[in-house]
Structure 1
């Protein structure tokens, strides 16, 4: 179980059981607001509470700049504060070293995969650059979570409270946006100091067709390792370039990976019994105190995999991440293995770093209640290696032509049948993977255009 910034948990059986048990709280008043007179809602108390919340938000979060469910201005400010003021810009010499490493890596990769180069530029980022350049993708990943929580929060207010408060209820959304922005900023600040490349955590976080390495983190990672930093830079550049080739020339892959995270987030359910228990001992009039807000929001837990939809999204994401990482490992090993004697040791170091749950997993566990650990990574790498040996590089890369051709979780456990199917499938399906990818992309574009035309012809 992992804590979420809003203190909510999945709607599992245990949560429902706690909800059904008598708790001494009025089910029509889940937030513990005092009821005035003969059991009616006391509007003066809510008004005073929201006034105090407004004062707090104006001082801390500048809510006027918040246009969505998360205050990203707060997130960026807190992330940069964690980095401190000592972040030096990347020198011209370091930038050239990164570019040279990437150029060499691309040359070596050409013989290891049929997919051509996917990045049209390679850049050297500071941690601040990483925050700025990846924030658009983080918005896509975090907004569904925050929207779910924000909507369920306001929907649980007593009807009389909603009628009285009107626009003032928006302060609750701003409070949630501030809390989520604060958690996101802390997580990204930590992650920015440790990631090595733009695809280090397996997700395409950066802009399209842009390969990026973070030289400061690479230097820190290189300390204590036996390989020279220059060789480590080339190895990491090869991994980044391999990721970029895959995401650039498999047009559906980026959407599938990010979409699986979004689908998981949309399945989040709120356990109001934990919130009720947390609110029992807190005077609503004290909510103007930020420490009380933090205390309330930190209560409760989020239980992953609480719905069938979430389980399916989680399994799909874990399998995709394992297939991506496994393919990158095999391709990079083939490209640099004989040229960099320490490549095997470096690959194992990165495998352990990923398997033990690094900063990426901690970030997602905090923000989405979701672990990014590809649990079948070794099985995926073994499948790609066997497919390379038995069917060849062209057939192996041709599997990425369409999502229906990819192995599933069961295939990772027992790959023999899948490999036989690829080998026995004939040349038509795998002869020219690039042509197959282009054909798939054209067909999907035509289908989208037809749907758009149908929508335009519909009088409604």
Structure 2
């Protein structure tokens, strides 16, 4: 499927951190391994792209009405791109390069002189190939994604506030699988993704706050490579044991990599923020009725039920990558948002976008009253 994202920014490989992860190889590996998706002729491709662009625009007034966020009125500082799987993967290598650059540069500086250029090149190729394989798997699962970090990539031509990616082949594949009305399903998806776009517009400080927290966590994890490799091996064994016993892997495998309280606090904060963002977007999706999306009840039911049919291998990979933990974030965050709105209304909830101090902690995500009391609502 034709993409508008291929020329959206320069290659992510100009950073010295290329010695640790070959970003270009990651993108090309993902493009090679990812399937193209459903078969569409040129007319169908054009219709899908035009439809998604139109419905992305049409969803914005609904997001504004539901959230009450004035930021939804003007989103010209960011863009909407309809992409294929390979372009989604490439866009994510660019974002990963931005997010991990500070930690990787520090790591390279600490190991300067200890690793030969040839060894560094081999290491970068291995990690790049591995990342590409992960992105290839994910590229067939993601329907859309708001990327707030695109503009920070070196040589990027992305708008200052980032870009919204709608993965057309995946949206088409799922709507066919569920046998639902295409325009209804596409609008439903756009409502969720446009909400993320509005969140970062309403809280312009949020992008750099998240980068700082990601840098903090990745700096801890990459600070001691030898320790990290030992912990990663232990985490892999733990994941295998959990899978064999039928217990929940998910986030536990990540926690096995963390040792000191500061590392765990960083992960806890990022988990709370992601739960907030995903839960809020889900609440917006669920707030629409048949007057906006005529077949919304059917879509919700069939979309929820589709996860029950996943095979053993896919379930294992999803656990390894933490995708099931991410789905719990959707649920936990949505419960938090609804609980706050029930007490303080949407205006009271929207205080969360005012500053980083107003972001909920992980305990508050699970007990909204703690946040309500802290905010004095």
The two structures have a TM-score, normalised by structure 1, of 0.59
What aligned pairs does 1:252-271 form with structure 2 within 5 A after superposition? 252-268=205-221, 269-271=224-226
Count of paired positions: 322
Q: Which residue of 2 aligns with 1:131?
A: 89
What aligned pairs does 1:17-32 form with structure 2 within 5 A after superposition? none
RMSD value, Cα:
4.2
Given candidates 368, 372, 375, the residue that maps to 1:419 is 372
Q: Which residue of 1 aligns with 2:5?
A: none
Larger Rg: 1
Q: Mark the CA change 1:72 to 1:407 in structure 2 (over 3 Å): closer, same or farther.
A: closer
Q: Mark the CA change 1:345 to 1:312 in structure 2 (over 3 Å): closer, same or farther.
A: farther
CA shift for structure 1 position 377: 3.9
Higher RCO structure (Cα 8 Å, ≥6 apart)? 1
Unaligned runs of 5+ in 1: 1-61, 156-161, 279-300, 426-460
Q: 1:240 and 2:187 equivalent?
A: no
Q: Which residue of 2 aligns with 1:172?
A: 119
CA shift for structure 1 position 213: 1.1
Q: 1:401 and 2:359 equivalent?
A: no
Q: Mark the CA change 1:68 to 1:271 in structure 2 (over 3 Å): closer, same or farther.
A: closer
Q: Which residue of 2 aligns with 1:189?
A: 136
Contact 1:98 1:123 in 2 (8 A): no
Contact 1:123 1:212 in 2 (8 A): yes
What aligned pairs does 1:287-306 form with structure 2 within 5 A after superposition? 303-306=256-259
What aligned pairs does 1:54-133 form with structure 2 within 5 A after superposition? 67-83=18-34, 91-115=45-69, 116-117=71-72, 119-120=75-76, 121-133=79-91
Structure 1 CA distance for aligned equivalents of residues 61 and 89 of structure 2: 29
Structure 1 CA distance for aligned equivalents of residues 49 and 228 of structure 2: 53
Higher percent of residues as helix:
2
Q: Mark the CA change 1:363 to 1:315 in structure 2 (over 3 Å): closer, same or farther.
A: same
CA shift for structure 1 position 107: 2.2
Structure 1 CA distance for aligned equivalents of residues 372 and 181 of structure 2: 38
CA shift for structure 1 position 318: 0.8
CA shift for structure 1 position 402: 0.9
CA shift for structure 1 position 410: 2.0
CA shift for structure 1 position 398: 2.3
Structure 1 CA distance for aligned equivalents of residues 54 and 340 of structure 2: 32
Q: Deviations over 1:122-160 (max 9, x none)?
A: 3211123223333321112344665577667x58xxxxx
What aligned pairs does 1:250-329 form with structure 2 within 5 A after superposition? 250-268=203-221, 269-271=224-226, 303-329=256-282
Structure 2 CA distance for aligned equivalents of residues 173 and 328 of structure 1: 41
Q: Mark the CA change 1:363 to 1:183 in structure 2 (over 3 Å): closer, same or farther.
A: farther
Contact 1:197 1:240 in 2 (8 A): yes
CA shift for structure 1 position 191: 2.1
The two structures have a TM-score, normalised by structure 2, of 0.70
Q: Mark the CA change 1:389 to 1:69 in structure 2 (over 3 Å): closer, same or farther.
A: same
What is the DSSP-based 3-state SS (H/G/I as helix, E as strand, rest coil) of the residue aligned with 2:81? strand
Contact 2:228 2:257 in 1 (8 A): no
Contact 1:239 1:328 in 2 (8 A): yes
